Amino acid sequence: MREPERIVRMETVKSLTGLSQSTIYRKIREGTFPAQLKISANSAGWHASEISRWVANPTVWRPRTRNEFDFDD
């Protein structure tokens, strides 16, 4: 059985990517960075695996489609 997906917050994402908060939000708007997930009414985060995928190859990163699965995560 797979472990639940880990959620990371903004400070962790900034640390992992080396990007500023404003750059992260700009890239989200452009579609070149993973979108946030709503965690609660006042907080959001990202799937750790999506951030890892982006860090591994930011120039070719694209959002996964509904039919794509990654069994190596």
For 24-38, write each residue's pLDDT tens digit: 999 999 999 999 999
| Counted domains in the chain | 1
Q: Residue 37's pLDDT is what?
A: 94
Nearest residue to 14 via CA among 45, 39, 38 = 45
Asked if the structure places residue 12 within a domain, the reply is yes
Asked if the structure places residue 25 within a domain, the reply is yes
Asked if the structure places residue 1 within a domain, the reply is no
Q: Which domain holds residue 33?
A: 7-56
- Rg for the chain, CA atoms, rounded: 12
pTM of the model: 0.80
Q: Count the neighbouring beta carbons within 10 Å of the beta carbon of residue 4.
A: 6
Asked if the structure places residue 27 within a domain, the reply is yes
SS3 at position 51: helix
Higher confidence at residue 39 or residue 67?
39
Asked if the structure places residue 63 within a domain, the reply is no
Asked if the structure places residue 52 within a domain, the reply is yes
Asked if the structure places residue 35 within a domain, the reply is yes
Asked if the structure places residue 48 within a domain, the reply is yes
Q: Which residues pair with 45 in a beta bridge?
A: 37
